[in-house]
Amino acid sequence: MKYLVVYSSRTGNTEMLAKQVKKTLGAEECLSFGAPSEEARAAAEHAEVIFAGFWTDKGNCEEPMGEFLEGLENAKIVLFGTAGFGQSQDYFNRILANVKGHLNGSNRVVGAWMCQGKMPLSVRKRYEAMQEQDPERAAQLIANFDQALGHPDAGDLEAFRGFIGNLFHCIGKESAKQS
């Protein structure tokens, strides 16, 4: 199965996940691996599956990934991402719904997966500065920041590899039926 991994990663979290795709599926069938680019767009036309990874920016993917997704036609897509806040699958589902909104109706999302990811230290400093105005909210945000520091962790990476393996198995069966 020819595939493409296109991702953006501000802090390295999503890149860790992207590398797991290539490690799990093997480099031989990978048409392109890296940031949204013209090379990735050209490779997308030949890929059976596009793995699109993103970091969360205000409840959505960042602009370059959104633009890449908006340019896809008739593709099978697997979305994967990281978010600094990660203690709620409902939150992840809202983000994924927003990201799916970048795709036109000719595309099909065949899988989606998210986990928590660490945030830059500048975010913690911003939360610390909030302590005088809203100490309760600041304490919650700082606690989440500290909890996120270890993510994606070994458990997250193992779960993601399992997700990819199961998905690959299902896609393979689907392709065999269509042949």
Q: Residue 124 and residue 67: Cα distance in Å, rounded?
A: 29
| Ordered alpha helix ranges (H), 45-81 | 63-70
Task: Name the pTM for this structure.
Answer: 0.90
Q: Residue 124 and residue 1: Cα distance in Å, rounded?
A: 42
- Residue 39, number of CB atoms within 10 A of its CB: 15
Mean pLDDT: which of 61-75, 76-90, 157-171 is highest?
A: 61-75
b/e sequence 89-112, b meaning 16+ C-beta within 10 Å: eebbeebbeebeebbeeebeebbb
Q: Residue 159 and residue 131: Cα distance in Å, rounded?
A: 35
pLDDT surpasses 70 at 41: yes
Residue 103's pLDDT band, with cuts at 50, 70 and 90, is very high
- CA distance between the termini of the chain: 13
3-state helix, strand, coil in the chain (%, to 5): 50, 20, 30
Q: Check if the beta carbon of residue 53 is closer than 8 Å to that of residue 7.
A: yes
Residue 13's pLDDT band, with cuts at 50, 70 and 90, is very high
Kindly report, residue by residue over 45-59, the tens digit of the pLDDT.
999 999 999 999 999
